[in-house]
Chains A and B, each alone.
Chain A
């Protein structure tokens, strides 16, 4: 069903436009997508370092999240827009893969974590500062979240190499 949808999408006019200009449109969108990764992952990294006490310790956690939170959410929107454009431009290459759907699952998980976390720090900044940020469990969650983002980046790159999943990849089935 996904394959049929992808094949239909590739016949629509926005898709045909990108396909006809793929000499520069696809690399341009991908480059902007990578710049989006730098915004999101850079922001995640700075907050991660602050929670683990490795950077930004001269200021409260709330300062770090309000400095980098908007870059995290803004970057995510940029990635959504460029990501959708890449799917429109190359529907079969993107959608008919194992990597893409696993990546989308982890993107959803990571986005929920980011939203809940940023909202909670905004509402309970004193509690976060006094106790939560020092808790082992919270620091463990920070490490887990960072690892999820690393997986997302790897899975994104693996869309181009989906055959490495062998029988799990729909792309290897003729």
Chain B
């Protein structure tokens, strides 16, 4: 059984939404800027939590206090980044899908999820024991260091996508000097 992935990607590019973004002069740059704003907040807030786990900052507050104070904003920013990322993807889906850095970025993003799951299964189970301690147990520190590394890598390969894909061309402008009257003759 085959799924016609290239056909699906082409269909995605042909949707009204994708066409609208491609044809607009300012929509794509605005979506891209919003993506940058979202990713800055995702990485910025995650770094606060990771540095707390490592015992390098915010050690005067309990881990749970720091995490519960911040994580809701992290998720909101992540949603913003995911939506804007998906919108950019639709405009040139088949090119992004086959791009090496795009694929690497998706794998790295999946790994950040696995990393988070690993935290829940290890240090996350014993938070009540180390919540007030200046740093997390070894597994928690490893997760935090890996998280920082993965997110920096996500940002770097993300930037490289823009250098290795040409932006989808908008529909060509209507020919100049042609009048509808010519067609009616």
Contacts and interface: CB of A to CB of B under 8 A. Distances in A.
Chain B binds chain A? yes
Contacts, number: 85
A37 interface: yes
B65 A58 contact: yes
A153 B36 contact: yes
Contacts of B60: 59, 63
Nearest to B164: A27
A28 B153 CA distance: 11
B29 A55 contact: no
**What's the interface size class on A, roughly?**
20 to 34
B113 interface: no
B167 to A, nearest CB: 10
Interface string B31-59: 01100110111011101100000000110
B91 to A, nearest CB: 14
B61 interface: yes
B86 interface: no
B160 interface: yes
Given A42-B48, A43-B44, A154-B33, A34 B57 contact: no
Interface residues of B, number: 31
A41 B37 contact: yes
Contacts of B48: 42, 46
Nearest to A166: B25
24 contacts: A27-B160, A31-B155, A34-B39, A34-B40, A34-B159, A35-B152, A38-B41, A41-B41, A41-B44, A42-B40, A42-B47, A46-B48, A46-B70, A55-B70, A55-B73, A58-B61, A58-B69, A63-B60, A154-B30, A154-B33, A157-B29, A157-B32, A158-B33, A161-B26
Interface of B: 25-26, 28-30, 32-33, 36-37, 39-41, 43-45, 47-48, 57-58, 60-61, 65, 69-70, 73, 152, 155-156, 159-160, 163
